[in-house]
Amino acid sequence: MNKKIRFIFTVLLLIGAPSVFAMSDAEIEKKFDAYEAKIKALEKKVNASPASVNKKMVKNVKKNKKRISKLKKLMDSEKERFQMNGFMTVAASKADAELGSAYHFNDRVNFRGDSKVGMQFDYKLSEDMDATIQLVARSRDEDVWTADAEWAYVGKRFTDWMKVRVGRLRIPFYLYSESLDVGYSYPWVRPPIDLYTTLVTSFDGMDVAFKFPTGPVNHRVQVWVAGWTNTDADALDDIDVYDTRGVNITSSWRAFTLRLATTSIALEGTQTTEFYSDINDAGLAGYAFATGGTATCLEPSPVLTVIAGESICSRWDLIIDIDDTITYNSLAFQYDNGTFFTIYEAALLDLKEESIFGNGRADVVTFGYRFQSWTPYIAGGVTESDPANLIPGSTETSRRSWLLGLQHILNDSTSIKFEWNHLYDFEGTDGFDEGALEPGETDLDDANIYTIAIDAVF
């Protein structure tokens, strides 16, 4: 009797224990309840058994109770060390022009530009070390969804006020940089495109963060360094980005937040710019001499004949050597008392040498008011850029914009937003698709973008 009961109980325990790690919390609790019920049934049988059997079985039952208790504590400990969170945005937008950009704005309803899904995994390696991975999948202007690691770092806290992170981190240019893809964390459908549309969103390197108070004001200082090569972006062709470093400080007092940041980025490589304009051989040679680059005809003009012994080119490119340093400064101010909020952000781009990139500035201000589950908001922005010194015929570009939006909180983890962007006073295209220009035009017409988005965190 004794051997049979012990054998059955041991088999049940060995079969059940390994599968615990693949079960949900409810299933685990149910399994433990089943074990406890079996133990109670065995205890009843033991009580009805001879004294010698009773003594051995009681000892065996106590031993297995300890094993179950230890296993349960282990599971609870693992739950505390590992956390998994997710977020997603499902959005549809429509513009009244073929604006292009990374958000794929056009005159048809599309779900590609703003829709995304992400998962974040946090694991506590020890009392003062942790590891974080954040994977974000989106389509943007690609034909298929692609997943990228926006976060992938190991962090160590040396003191209560100092922490070091090494790996892949977010570029800390703006107030909402670290929650750039979590739509539920900010009021807009998307962070204002006047500022937040950057070629690179993450960097490989390290940062050191310090936290300290001065009286009633709390400060966070972040110092970071990074380096990456061949950014593989359309606007940066064969350009290495290196010797990158920055510092930012965020200070908070009651409902006020102030953030200042500066970044230095070194560029080196070649930039190829393609032109569609008629030019003769002398013109190509002149541009090559003026820029120190190489001008090459890609397509002779099919209409114009040879003039004065020189051929005419209708499509040509200019390859320029790049060796420059970018300084990028940004400022953010926020007031949020829980009901009314205002956010002002500005950025200034400054290049030390003559370049294919012009200096630029952007300013955006947002006002919003929360009542119950509704938040109407309004924002306005201005962008300006100087002409690129080395690009033939380049001129100053600029635009103005405003937007109206409404956010409705559906529950603690989901919201829906409606937004209308109006872009106007264009000089040039200012970053949008040149294909949106009408024949003979140099400035983009006014444009509107309409978007509805659902944000969720889980």
pLDDT tens per residue across span 38-89: 667 766 665 665 555 566 666 777 777 777 777 777 666 666 788 999 999 9
- State the pTM of this model: 0.78
Task: Give just the sign of the alpha carbon dihedral 268, 272, 278, 281.
Answer: positive
Q: How far apart are CA 129 and CA 155, in angstroms?
A: 6
Out of 80, 108, 127, a domain closes at 80
Enumerate residues 6+ apart whose C-beta is below 8 A from 292: 320, 321
pLDDT tens digits along 149-185:
999 999 999 999 999 999 999 989 999 999 999 999 9
At residue 287, the pLDDT reads 82
Q: What 3 state SS string does 130-153 have?
A: EEEEEEEEECCCCCCCEEEEEEEE
Given pLDDT bands bounded at 50, 70 and 90, which one contains residue 304?
low
Q: Give the mean pLDDT of 385-399.
A: 76
Residues 209 and 291 in one domain: no
Inform me whether the pLDDT recorded for 91 exceeds 60.
Answer: yes
Percentage of residues in the chain with pLDDT exceeding 90?
44
> Does residue 289 or residue 382 have the better pLDDT?
382
Number of domains in the chain: 3
Given pLDDT bands bounded at 50, 70 and 90, which one contains residue 355?
low
Give yes or no for a contact between 164 and 153, defined as CB atoms under 8 angstroms apart.
no
At residue 56, the pLDDT reads 67
In a domain, 22, yes or no: yes
Inform me whether the pLDDT recorded for 124 exceeds 60.
Answer: yes
Tell me the residue range of the domain where 416 lies.
96-270+321-457
Residues 106 and 229 in one domain: yes
> Does residue 219 or residue 429 have the better pLDDT?
219
Residues 53 and 147 in one domain: no
Residues 369 and 379 in one domain: yes
Inform me whether the pLDDT recorded for 21 exceeds 50.
Answer: no
Q: Give the mean pLDDT of 95-117.
A: 84
Residues 307 and 368 in one domain: no
The CATH number of the domain holding residue 153 is 2.40.160.10
In a domain, 11, yes or no: yes
Residues 290 and 201 in one domain: no
In a domain, 89, yes or no: no
Residues 234 and 282 in one domain: no
In a domain, 167, yes or no: yes
Out of 287, 319, 351, a domain closes at 319
pLDDT tens digits along 206-232:
999 999 999 999 999 999 999 765 544
Give yes or no for a contact between 297 and 284, defined as CB atoms under 8 angstroms apart.
yes
In a domain, 90, yes or no: no
At residue 383, the pLDDT reads 93
Residues 253 and 183 in one domain: yes
CA angle 331, 376, 430 (to 5 degrees): 50
At residue 132, the pLDDT reads 97
At residue 429, the pLDDT reads 78
At residue 1, the pLDDT reads 42
At residue 307, the pLDDT reads 58
Strands 129-138 and 360-369: unpaired
In a domain, 378, yes or no: yes
Residues 265 and 411 in one domain: yes
Residues 216 and 304 in one domain: no
In a domain, 87, yes or no: no
Residues 265 and 278 in one domain: no
Residues 131 and 253 in one domain: yes
Across the chain, what does the average pLDDT equal? 82
In a domain, 34, yes or no: yes
Out of 284, 319, 354, a domain closes at 319
